[in-house]
Amino acid sequence: MLAPKGVSAENEIQKARELYYGGIDAINIPDGPRASSRMSSLALATMIQNQVGIEVVLHFVCRDLNVIAIQSNLLGAYSLGIKNVLAITGDPPKIGNYPDATGVFDVDSIGLINIINRLNNGLDISGAPIGNPTGFHIGCGANPGALNLDQELKRIDWKIEAGAEFIMTQPVFDLHIFENFFKRIEHYKIPIIAGIWPLTSLRNAEFMNNEVPGCNVPNEILEQFRKVETSKDKSRILGIEIANKTLSSLMGAIQGVQISVPFGNIQSAFNVLDGIH
């Protein structure tokens, strides 16, 4: 669930309630995705947990903060009840609406996981004790469709060595790519949460395929959308069917699923889950 671009989160809170009552276990809160400026992800995550009662997975990126602020924000997040953190390097500012903004990147996602792990052991990055330790559940991202898969796997090695406890993947569209990726990571024995994105149109499919690194939408799926391109309803139904089939095929290999809700349409999450047991 994306944070709002303004100061009111009423719409997001209401959607969080619907997801909670519908049986969803947790809500993913991205942190300035595609280098966009939005309400603080920590603020939205805290409001959702306090006002709705559903757990959140807070994305935490390295783009905007130096290591001093990273530690301060993590300590603040834990004191506010945030327990699940997905450590991400973050998109560079040049791809967003503020291309001249300065990216910090004191550390990347591997260094961030190290920082969180040290806080979990009661230490800051200088080795000084912080008193009571944090107890974050640390997640890391993974890109099954990375152009250089060997390098991606090497980074996953380092992330797990640094303290990552679960893996969350980019959206999966090509099962062959995921199967190859899974064979090379199944020895880690930590939970894998697969990303599922219910496509909404041919344009959406082409955007994911061409603009989102690691998202490989097979030609056969693109062709299916071309056949229903003129009908928004048929396109949405097709996207749900494809996402449902993808999830069904992955069920034996994964321990969880992260279902995206394009354009904030939370009903799509429930539709994807229909028929999955």
Domains and CATH numbers, the chain: 1-142 (3.20.20.220)
Do residues 225 and 205 make contact, with C-beta atoms less than 8 angstroms apart? yes
**Residue at token pair 């996981």:** 113
What are the structure tokens assigned to 121, written together? 């052991």
| Extended beta strands in 41-123, E state | 55-61, 84-88
| 156 vs 211: CA distance, rounded Å | 23
Cβ atoms of 45 and 56 within 8 Å: the answer is yes
- Give the bridge partners for 256, in sequence order: 193
Q: Which residue shows structure tokens 């990552």? A: 164
> Could you tell me the maximum CA-CA distance found in the chain, to the nearest angstrom?
62
273 DSSP 8-state letter: H
The whole-model pTM stands at 0.94
DSSP per residue over 166-188, as a string? EEEEEEP--HHHHHHHHHHHGGG
Q: Quick one: pLDDT at residue 277?
A: 57
| Run of H or E residues at 231 | none
Q: Which residues pair with 194 in a beta bridge?
A: 257
pLDDT score recorded for residue 276: 75
Contact between 88 and 59 (Cβ < 8 Å): yes
Q: Count other C-beta atoms under 10 Å from residue 29's C-beta.
A: 26
Beta strands per DSSP E along 100-239: 137-142, 166-171, 192-196
Separation CA 270–CA 255 (nearest Å): 18
Residue 46 near residue 81, CB atoms below 8 Å? yes
Each of the 277 residues of the chain gets a pLDDT tens digit; together they read 999 999 999 999 999 999 999 999 999 999 988 888 999 999 999 999 999 999 999 999 999 999 999 999 999 999 999 999 999 999 889 988 899 999 999 999 999 999 999 999 999 999 999 999 999 999 999 999 999 999 999 999 999 999 999 999 999 999 999 999 999 999 999 999 999 999 999 999 999 999 887 789 999 999 999 999 999 999 999 999 999 999 999 999 999 999 999 889 999 999 999 967 5
Residue pair 112/73 in contact by the 8 Å Cβ criterion: no
